[in-house]
């Protein structure tokens, strides 16, 4: 069984990355915090008696499931919201994803190519995070687990519940999409 | 593939940098969530009993099923006891009736005689 210290060390090590992963997926800090908290609670409550070496993989599995659950709940909620907000004029419906943000990024990308040197480190970081957010969910999940969490292909496949071949494909597509999108913004890696 | 790894590594470095700029309130909330989770582990882990050798330990949580089994066993024992007591009681009642009939002045055949029962009834009226 993992000791409280081992569990504490693991959570302290992964909590910020887990939060960021959730933010990239759900694009809302509060929801991301809730997701990470639920994942931590579930790991401690249900799997706290497992050996310490099993916990990182279990935590990632719980976290990814929590993110998927959030999307399921949001889908159900938005179905009812749409149903009841049909009377409202078009464009007034509450929406977290501002289409202008995407438009801005696209417009900016043309001008940014020649001004790459002027882009500060913080701006590069912001651009990368935005592009990571834009990745399709499965590609982002594979990329995060494989390269940020440093899991091997088999572990990533186990967490994602897919084949190792799919993990490789998702990772490859994600990396290429990021490279192309960042290059368009004048950021070469 | 090498290029893919190189790009992934560079992005990872930037993502790691982004962790250092997390707002303090978010860091604090993550810490609080971690503390709550750890408190929950202690609660659900159950009581650890030290083994006699001092090296091993028994997790009482593993014997949780005993807690469910004991009430079921008690209920079964209670039902069996009630059934036994009931049967015993009926046997004693039957034995009493038999004894009363045998020591009665009337012969047993009188109880089976319909005419005798009608005569008794008329006498009471």
Residue with structure tokens 């990024």? Answer: A105
Under an 8 Å CB criterion, which residues of B touch A? 4, 6-12, 14-15, 17-19, 21-22, 26-27, 29-31, 33-34, 36-38, 40-42, 44-45, 59, 61
Whole-number pLDDT of residue B57? 46
Q: Average pLDDT over chain A, rounded to whole? A: 84
Whole-number pLDDT of residue B45? 66
Q: Which of B17, B124, B112, B34 lies closest to A41 in space, CA to CA?
A: B34
The CATH architecture annotation of domain A99-189 reads Orthogonal Bundle (1.10)
Residues B71 and B125 grouped into a single domain: yes
Question: Do the domain assignments include residue B54?
Answer: no
pLDDT band at A1 (very low <50, low <70, confident <90, very high): confident
Domain ranges of chain A: 1-82, 99-189
Q: Which of A1, A105, A85, A99 lies closest to A50 in space, CA to CA?
A: A1
Q: Which of B32, B64, B28, B26 lies closest to B45 in space, CA to CA?
A: B64
What are the tokens at B3?
Answer: 């290029």
Whole-number pLDDT of residue A92? 46
Residues B67 and B41 grouped into a single domain: no
Which domain does B30 fall in, by range? 1-45
Question: Do the domain assignments include residue B31?
Answer: yes
Residues B82 and B27 grouped into a single domain: no
Main-chain phi, psi angles of A51, to 5 degrees: -60, 150
Q: Read off the pLDDT of residues B38-48 as tens digits, 9 standing for 90 and up.
A: 998 877 765 44
**Cα(B75)–Cα(B81) distance, rounded to whole angstroms?**
10
The residue-averaged pLDDT of A96-109 equals 46
HEC sequence for A33-64: HHHHHHHHHHHHHHHCCCCHHHHHHHHHHHHH
Q: Which of A149, A63, A2, A16 lies closest to B38 in space, CA to CA?
A: A2
Q: Which of A40, A33, A38, A37 lies closest to A8 in space, CA to CA?
A: A40
Question: Do the domain assignments include residue B57?
Answer: no
Work out the minimum CA distance from A61 to partner chain B, whole angstroms: 17
Query: Which DSSP symbol is given to B53?
Result: T
Question: Do the domain assignments include residue B53?
Answer: no
Whole-number pLDDT of residue B98? 82
A7 interaction partners in chain B (CB closer than 8 Å): 37-38, 41
The residue-averaged pLDDT of A97-112 equals 46
Q: Read off the pLDDT of residues B94-110 as tens digits, 9 standing for 90 and up.
A: 888 888 877 877 777 77
The residue-averaged pLDDT of B19-35 equals 94
Question: Do the domain assignments include residue B90?
Answer: yes
- ipTM for the complex? 0.74
What are the tokens at A125?
Answer: 């970081």
Asked if B44 lies within 8 A of A44 by C-beta distance, the reply is yes
Question: Do the domain assignments include residue B58?
Answer: no
Residues B73 and B105 grouped into a single domain: yes
Nearest CA in chain A to B26: A33
**Cα(A2)–Cα(A45) distance, rounded to whole angstroms?**
12
Nearest CA in chain A to B35: A8
The SS3 call for residue A161 is coil
Number of domains in chain B: 2
The SS3 call for residue B48 is strand
Residues B37 and B81 grouped into a single domain: no
Residues paired with residue B58 on neighbouring β-strands, in sequence order? B49
Question: Do the domain assignments include residue B112?
Answer: yes
Question: Do the domain assignments include residue B50?
Answer: no
**Cα(A77)–Cα(A69) distance, rounded to whole angstroms?**
12
Angle at B9 between CA B3 and CA B15, to 5 degrees: 140
Residues B41 and B90 grouped into a single domain: no
**Cα(A78)–Cα(A84) distance, rounded to whole angstroms?**
10
Q: Which of A10, A11, A32 lies closest to A21 in space, CA to CA?
A: A32
Whole-number pLDDT of residue A180? 93
Residues B70 and B117 grouped into a single domain: yes
Whole-number pLDDT of residue A168? 95
Asked if A171 lies within 8 A of B40 by C-beta distance, the reply is no
Q: Read off the pLDDT of residues B57-92 as tens digits, 9 standing for 90 and up.
A: 445 555 667 778 888 999 999 999 999 999 888 888
């Amino acid at each position: 069984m993992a000791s409280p210290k081992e569990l504490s060390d693991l959570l302290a090590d992964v909590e910020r990355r887990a939060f960021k992963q959730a933010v990239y997926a759900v694009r809302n800090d509060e929801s991301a915090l809730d997701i990470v908290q639920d994942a931590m609670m579930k790991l401690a409550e249900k799997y706290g008696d497992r050996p310490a070496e099993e916990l990182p993989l279990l935590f990632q599995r719980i976290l990814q499931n929590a993110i998927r659950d959030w999307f399921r709940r949001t889908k159900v909620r938005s179905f009812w919201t749409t149903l009841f907000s049909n009377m409202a004029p078009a464009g007034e419906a509450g929406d977290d994803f501002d289409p202008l943000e995407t438009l801005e990024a696209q417009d900016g990308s043309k001008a940014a190519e020649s001004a790459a040197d002027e882009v500060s480190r913080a701006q590069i970081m912001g651009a990368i995070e935005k592009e990571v957010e834009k990745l399709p969910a499965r590609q982002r999940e594979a990329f995060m687990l494989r390269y940020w969490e440093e899991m091997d292909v088999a572990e990533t496949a186990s967490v994602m519940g897919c084949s190792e071949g799919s993990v490789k494909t998702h990772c490859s597509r994600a990396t290429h999409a990021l490279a192309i999108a960042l290059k368009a913004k004048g950021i070469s890696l | 593939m090498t290029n893919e790894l190189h790009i992934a590594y560079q992005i990872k470095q930037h993502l790691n940098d982004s962790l250092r700029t997390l707002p303090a309130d978010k860091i604090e909330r993550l810490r609080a969530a971690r503390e709550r989770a750890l408190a929950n582990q202690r609660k659900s882990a159950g009581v650890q009993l030290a083994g006699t050798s001092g090296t091993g330990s028994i997790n009482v949580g593993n014997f949780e099923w005993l807690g469910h089994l004991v009430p079921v066993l008690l209920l079964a024992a209670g039902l069996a006891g009630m059934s036994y007591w009931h049967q015993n009681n009926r046997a004693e009642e039957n034995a009493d009736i038999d004894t009363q009939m045998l020591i009665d002045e009337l012969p047993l055949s009188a109880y089976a005689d319909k005419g005798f029962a009608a005569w008794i009834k008329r006498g009471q009226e």
